[in-house]
Amino acid sequence: MNRNIVRYCAYITIIFLASCGLLQERNLSVQPSESKKLEDSVLVKKLLYSQYEDWRGVRYQKGGLNQRGIDCSGFVHLTYKSKLGMHLPRTTSLQAKLGKQINRNDLKAGDLIFFKTGSGSNHVGIYLDNNRFMHASQKKGVTISRLDHAYWINNYWKSVRI
């Protein structure tokens, strides 16, 4: 009898912990107080370039979330969390559902830029300034690229302001 109670309690605990994680990822709203941090573009640029210096060249690893390897959405997730104090979802598809869609010509530091890079495959980066954005590239690792490069122009999907 005690064994069944222990199993039942363990089962309930696992379900509770798993559901908390799911609820976190489904909560796609950003609190107004958090988004105000993005209004100071000079500070945002400084924080983003600081993040880039810490992560420059870290190799791309699908599903990676540390300096041994990181993917594009993981880099965005960690950058927003560590430098801007904001929790964004972990995946590109959920990140693409956030914020307000903006015109590519209206980008400012901290805006997210999305690309369709293949069949069912998307890529995300963070706009810096002067037509440049930082991201985790499959070939170069964490790098800064030009938004007006032919590859990015041809694969551009949308831009979002958090």
In a domain, 23, yes or no: no
Annotation says 72 is catalytic: yes
- Euclidean distance between CA atoms 105 and 122, whole angstroms: 21
Annotation says 123 is catalytic: yes
Q: Pick the catalytic residue: 9, 77, 87, 123?
A: 123
In a domain, 153, yes or no: yes
Q: Pick the catalytic residue: 9, 20, 87, 135?
A: 135
Give residue 8's pLDDT band: very low, low, confident or very high (50, 70, 90): low
Q: Pick the catalytic residue: 20, 72, 87, 149?
A: 72
In a domain, 15, yes or no: no
| Structural domain span for residue 147 | 31-161
CA 64 to chain CA centroid, Å, is: 12
In a domain, 22, yes or no: no
Long-range (24+ apart) CB contacts under 8 A made by 111-114 are: 111/159, 111/160, 111/161, 111/162, 112/76, 112/159, 112/160, 112/161, 112/162, 113/147, 113/156, 113/158, 113/159, 114/157, 114/158, 114/159, 114/160
pLDDT, tens only, 10-47: 544 444 333 333 334 444 445 544 555 678 989 999 99
In a domain, 95, yes or no: yes
Report DSSP letters for 148-159, one per residue: TSHHHHHHEEEE
pLDDT, tens only, 92-136: 999 999 999 999 999 999 999 999 998 889 999 999 999 999 999
The CATH code of the domain that includes 140 is 3.90.1720.10
In a domain, 63, yes or no: yes
- Total of domains in the chain: 1
In a domain, 21, yes or no: no
In a domain, 41, yes or no: yes
